[in-house]
Structure 1
Amino acid sequence: MLDYDLVIIGGTAAGRYAALTATNFPARVALVEPLSHSQDLPAEGKEPIDFGLRYSQTLREAARFAHQLGRPHLGVSWGAGPIELRFEGARKWAEGVVSNLSEIDALGVLAARGVDIIFGNGEFVVEPDLAVIAGDRKLRSRAYLLACPTMPAIPNIEGLSSVGFFTSETVGELAKLPQLPKSLAVIGADPSGVEVAQTFSRLGSAVTLVVKSSHILAKEDREAAGLVQAGMEAEGVRILTATEVTQARVIEGKKWIQAGPRAIEAEEIFLAAGRGYNFAALNLEAAGVKFSDRGLILNEKLQTTNSRIYAIGDVAGGYPFPHIANCEAAVAVKNALFLPLFHIDYRGIPWAIFSDPQLARVGLTEAQARRRFGDDLIVAREHFKNVERAQMSGETTGFCKIVGRRNGDILGATIVGPQAAELIQAIAFAVRHGMKVEAIAELPYIWSSFSAINGQTAAIWESQRFQSNIFLQNLWENLFHWRRYWK
C-alpha cells in the first residue's frame, strides 16, 4: 500500500504552489520541506522562502518610484532640491511587504488544506521499492515531484571566496547593511544583476557592472538589450562588456577586483552568474534520474528519465522565473496524479526583466527566428514615441517588435519600454492560443493607453506583409483602376 498519491520535495515557492494545486483534487499529498528553508520554524537567521527575490524587487520599486518623482517632466516642481530616497525608509518598506507576502504561501495554509508537511532533507531509495526518506520517515508514493532549490553559481575567480560577496540568495543581507555601500561591483550577466545594479545606483551607490558578453542580457533581443544598457549608463551605471573578472583581493582593508586590464575598488561585490545544481544529496542516480550541467533531463511532460519522478522550477533549467515554475507545476501535478497526457508549452509563456525601461519577451527573438526560418519572416516595430499615452506621460523611450512568419503565425515579440511586463500579456495570449498577427491588429484598444502600441505594431506588420506581396498589390491596383474607368 502506498502512503501518498504525490510526494513533493520542496524548499521553493514553486513546491508550495504545486502542493496547493494538488489540494484541488481528492489526493493525499506530502511536502518535504528542508529545515533550512522554513520560515515557519523559529530559528536564528532564517528568512522566508524567496526572501531575496521579493526583497530586491520591492526595493527596486521604491527606487523606481523615487526616480520617477525626480524626473523634471510635466512641469512638476518638488522644491529647491532633488527628490531624496532614504535607504533606511526603503529598507523598512521592503521588509514590511515581504512579511505580508510570506503569509500567502505559509506552511500553515497548506496544512489547513490537507497537505502533510514533513521537515527534513529528502533522499531517494530504491530498495525494496522507490521511496523518499525524509527525517525518520519513509514516504512511498505513486509519483514524486522535484521542486527543490538551486544554488547561485560561483565563478572560478581567484581570491573571491576570501574577499566575500553577495548573491541573489543573500541580496536581503546586502540591503540590510548598516550603511548603503558607497560602491558596488556586479559580476555576471544574469538578469538579477541588471536589476540589482540599477536599484543600488538609484539608491546612491557607485555601481560597476561587469559581463563577459558583448552586451548585457545576451539571451534577449540585442536591440532591446542595448536600449536597457544605454538607459542604465545614462543614469550613471558603469558597464564593462566583453570583460572577465580574474581576481579579487583585499588591499589595505578595501576590496578590489581585476576586470580585464582594470583594477576596480568596490566596497561590496554582488554575483549574478546564473544558477548551479547539487543533486548529490537526493541520490538521483540510484533512482535512474539523469542530469547534466544545465539541470535535469526532462521530456515535454516534465518527467525525468524515471517516469515516476517529475521536476519543475530552477532544477528544470532555463530562466528561474516563479511564474514559469508555477506553469510547470500545473502540468506536472496533473500528469503525476492522473495520466501523463499533458505537455508543457513554453512558446506562450512571457517573461520580463524589471530594469528601467522594462524588457519583456514571449517566444523567439528576431535572431533566433531568422536562424530557424530564414527569409520566411516579417519583422515590424513601433516606437513608444508614436503612442499618444506615452507622449502624454513623458515616457517615450522604447519600442515593440513583433516577429512573424508570412502566413501570420506569431513567432515572438519583444517590448522594451514603460509597462512592458503588462503589455506583453496580450501578445502572449495570442501566441498561446495560435492566433495570427491580424487578431492583435484588429483588437480595439482603449484610448489613450500604452497597450495601443500592440495594435499599432501589428498593423505595421500587416502593412509590411501586403507591401511585400507584389502579386496582390498589382491585383488590387488593377481592380481599382477598372472600377474608376467604368465609373
Structure 2
Amino acid sequence: MIDYDVVIIGGTITGIYAAITATKFQGRVALVQPPLAEINTNNSPIFDNTQGFHHYKIINQIANFVEQIHHKQQFGIYQESDDLGEISVNFKEAKKYANYVINNQLAKYEPAVLATLGIDVIFSEGKFVDRPHLSFVVKGRHLRSRKYLLATPSQPLIPEIPGLITTGFIIPQKIEQLSKQPQSLIVIGGDPSGIEIAQTFCRLGTKVTIVVKSSYILDKEDSEAAFLVQAQLEAEGIRILTKTKVSEVRKIEDKKFVLVGDEVIETDEIILAAGNKSSLENFNLEAVGVKFKNNKLLLNKKLQTTNYRIYACGDLLGGYSFPHIANYEAKIAIKNILYLPIFSVNYNSIPWAIFSEPQLARVGLTEQQARQRYGENVLVWRENFKNIARAQILSKTTGFCKIVGHRNGKILGVSIVGNQASEIIHVMALAIRQEIKIEAIAELPNVWPTISEINAQTATAWLRQKREKNQILKDLLENLFHWRRSF
C-alpha cells in the first residue's frame, strides 16, 4: 500500500515550495522537516538556510539607502543646517526591521498553513531503508511513496585553516547571529553572498577585507564584469586580497587574528563565504542504491539519482545557492515524480544576479565559455550605461551590457553589470529560452527613459558590428546606393 505520491525530505524553503507545487498538481504529499531547533518571535519554525539569507539581503538594501543619502549633493540636495550630523544606522533597529520582513514571509509557511493545503508535515529525522520495501523511516513509521525528493539544506564548506573552527566564524545564512555591528570584518572566500555582505557592512562604516584564492572576485562570471564590481568595492574602501590564502586563525581575548600570507590582520569578526556542500550522511542513501561522485550526488537531467525513485534539487546539486534556481529544479522534479519522467533541466536560460552595487546579472554563457565552444563564430558587443538617458538621470552610469552571440543571430549569453541589472536581464533570458534572435531585441521599442533601453541599444550595436564584418554585404549596399544616386 502506497501512502503518498511523494515524500519530500526538506528543511528548506525549496522543500516547502516543492510540497506546495505537488499539492497544486493534485498529489498526496508528506514533508519531513528537521526537528524544531529554533523558534522565531512568532513561535513558528525557522527553516534552515532561509532566515540568514534574507537578513543580509534586507540590510544590504538599508546600506544602499545610506549610500544614496551620502551622495545627495550631486543632485543639488543640501541640508539647511549641519546640526543633523552624519547619517548613521542603528544596527539593532536594522535587524529588527529585517526580522519584521522575515516573519511576514515565513507566516505563509507555518505548519498550520501547510496542513490546510493537504500537506502532512512531520518534524523528525529519518533514513531510507530498502526492506521490505523502499521507504523513508521516521520514528519507526515507514513512509511509503511512489517517489522521494531530497530538498535538504547544504552545509558550509569549511576550508582546512588551523584555528578557524575554534576561533569561530559566521556564514552568510546566519548573519543574524551578529549581536552588534563589527568595527572590522574579514570575508574569507569569493562566494557572491560574501561579496554582498562585504559591501553592505562597508557602507555601514565597517572596515572590510576580502580574501580570495582566485585572481579576482566572482571568478565564475564574465571577467570584465567581475573586475568592474571589484573596482567599485575597492573604490569604496574595501581591501581585496587576491591569489591569497589564509594560513591560520587565532583568537586572543576578544579579538580575532587572521594570518594572510606574511601579514597578520586583526578583526572583530570573520565571515566564511567559501561555498556549500551537501549533507546527506544520515539518510542511509548508499544502502538504497544512491551513488556519489566527489561527495556530490550523481544525477541525470531529470534530477533522478542512481535510484530512479529518489530525486534531488536545490543546494545539493552544487553551484551558486540561488533560491529561484532551486525552485526551478523542484518544479521539474515534481512534474517528473507525479507524471512521467520526461522533463529535463536546462540552465542555459535561467538568469541570476549578484546584489552588489553595481549589480551583476548573467544568463547563458560568458564570453570565455562561448569562445571555447564556438570559436570564431562568436561576436561580442558591449554598450555602456553612460549612453543610457535614464542612467544619466539617476547618476548611475557605471556598468555595461554585453551580448555574446553566434554569427547566425542566436543569443549565447548576456552579462550585465550596472544599475537594475537584476531586473533588465529577464528580457534576455526569455529571448534565450524562446530562441528569439538578436534582431528581435534590437527592434523592440523600449519605454523612454528607462534602464531597459540598454538591451535594445546593445543588440543594435551588435548587429551593426556583424554588418561591418560582412564585406560582401557592405560592397553590395555601397553599389546599390551608388547606382540609385546616379539617377
Please state if 1:204 is matched with 2:181: no
TM-score by length of 1: 0.96
The letter of the residue matching 2:363 is V
Match of residue 359 from structure 1? 360
The letter of the residue matching 1:401 is K
Match of residue 244 from structure 1? 245
Matches for 1:58-73 after TM superposition, within 5 Å: 58-71=58-71, 72-73=73-74
Question: Residues 225, 462 of structure 1: CA spacing in aligned structure 2 closer, same or farther, 3 A cutoff?
Answer: same
Match of residue 35 from structure 1? 35
The letter of the residue matching 1:429 is L
User: Any gaps of 5 or more consecutive residues in structure 2?
Assistant: none
Match of residue 268 from structure 2? 267
The letter of the residue matching 2:61 is E
Q: Distance in 2 between matches of 1:411 and 1:40?
A: 44
Q: Secondary structure at the match of 1:95?
A: helix
Q: Secondary structure at the match of 1:370?
A: helix
Q: Distance in 1 between matches of 2:388 and 2:37?
A: 46
Moved more, 449-458 or 120-129: 120-129
The alpha-carbon deviation at position 52 of structure 1 amounts to: 0.3
Q: Secondary structure at the match of 2:416?
A: strand
Is the 8 Å Cα contact of residues 277 and 318 (structure 2) preserved in structure 1?
no
The alpha-carbon deviation at position 253 of structure 1 amounts to: 4.1
Match of residue 472 from structure 2? 471
The letter of the residue matching 1:2 is I
Is the 8 Å Cα contact of residues 224 and 359 (structure 1) preserved in structure 2?
yes
**Percentage of matched positions with identical amino acids:** 53
The alpha-carbon deviation at position 361 of structure 1 amounts to: 0.4
Q: Distance in 1 between matches of 2:438 and 2:39?
A: 46
Please state if 1:85 is matched with 2:89: yes
Is the 8 Å Cα contact of residues 119 and 135 (structure 1) preserved in structure 2?
no
Q: Distance in 1 between matches of 2:39 and 2:257?
A: 35
Match of residue 461 from structure 1? 462
Matches for 1:374-393 after TM superposition, within 5 Å: 374-393=375-394
Match of residue 341 from structure 1? 342
Q: Deviations over 1:435-479 (max 9, x none)?
A: 111111111100000000011001011111111111111111111
Q: Distance in 2 between matches of 1:390 and 1:156?
A: 44
The letter of the residue matching 2:14 is A
The alpha-carbon deviation at position 36 of structure 1 amounts to: 4.2
Q: Deviations over 1:211-266 (max 9, x none)?
A: 01010001011111111111111111111111100100123542100011211001
Q: Secondary structure at the match of 1:109?
A: helix
Is the 8 Å Cα contact of residues 130 and 287 (structure 1) preserved in structure 2?
yes
Match of residue 159 from structure 2? 155
Matches for 1:391-402 after TM superposition, within 5 Å: 391-402=392-403
Match of residue 257 from structure 1? 258
Is the 8 Å Cα contact of residues 36 and 123 (structure 2) preserved in structure 1?
no
Q: Distance in 1 between matches of 2:259 and 2:293?
A: 31
Q: Distance in 1 between matches of 2:111 and 2:78?
A: 47
The letter of the residue matching 2:460 is A
Is the 8 Å Cα contact of residues 152 and 273 (structure 1) preserved in structure 2?
yes
Q: Deviations over 1:329-385 (max 9, x none)?
A: 111101000110111111110000000110000011111111111111110100000
Matches for 1:403-482 after TM superposition, within 5 Å: 403-482=404-483
TM-score by length of 2: 0.96
- Of 86, 90, 99, 2:103 maps to 99
- Of 96, 106, 112, 1:108 maps to 112
The alpha-carbon deviation at position 138 of structure 1 amounts to: 0.8
Q: Secondary structure at the match of 1:246?
A: strand
Please state if 1:277 is matched with 2:278: yes
Is the 8 Å Cα contact of residues 29 and 120 (structure 2) preserved in structure 1?
yes
Moved over 4 A (4+): 36-44
Question: Residues 89, 40 of structure 1: CA spacing in aligned structure 2 closer, same or farther, 3 A cutoff?
Answer: closer
Please state if 1:130 is matched with 2:134: yes
Q: Secondary structure at the match of 1:26?
A: coil
Q: Distance in 1 between matches of 2:475 and 2:111?
A: 67
Q: Secondary structure at the match of 2:286?
A: coil
- Of 160, 168, 172, 1:168 maps to 172
Q: Distance in 2 between matches of 1:39 and 1:483?
A: 79
Moved more, 266-275 or 62-71: 62-71
Is the 8 Å Cα contact of residues 357 and 416 (structure 1) preserved in structure 2?
yes
Question: Residues 37, 25 of structure 1: CA spacing in aligned structure 2 closer, same or farther, 3 A cutoff?
Answer: farther
Is the 8 Å Cα contact of residues 349 and 363 (structure 1) preserved in structure 2?
yes
Q: Distance in 2 between matches of 1:39 and 1:332?
A: 30
Match of residue 318 from structure 2? 317
Q: Secondary structure at the match of 1:255?
A: strand
Q: Deviations over 1:29-54 (max 9, x none)?
A: 1101111467589989x744400001
Match of residue 5 from structure 2? 5
Is the 8 Å Cα contact of residues 152 and 169 (structure 1) preserved in structure 2?
no
Is the 8 Å Cα contact of residues 211 and 242 (structure 1) preserved in structure 2?
yes
Match of residue 145 from structure 1? 149
Please state if 1:56 is matched with 2:60: no
Is the 8 Å Cα contact of residues 365 and 413 (structure 1) preserved in structure 2?
yes
Is the 8 Å Cα contact of residues 402 and 461 (structure 1) preserved in structure 2?
yes
Moved more, 181-190 or 78-87: 78-87
Is the 8 Å Cα contact of residues 31 and 122 (structure 2) preserved in structure 1?
yes
Is the 8 Å Cα contact of residues 152 and 168 (structure 1) preserved in structure 2?
no
The letter of the residue matching 1:119 is F
Is the 8 Å Cα contact of residues 145 and 309 (structure 1) preserved in structure 2?
yes
Q: Distance in 2 between matches of 1:40 and 1:9?
A: 22
Please state if 1:230 is matched with 2:251: no
Moved more, 472-481 or 415-424: 472-481
Q: Secondary structure at the match of 1:250?
A: strand
User: Any gaps of 5 or more consecutive residues in structure 1?
Assistant: none
Q: Distance in 1 between matches of 2:352 and 2:412?
A: 15
Q: Secondary structure at the match of 2:330?
A: helix
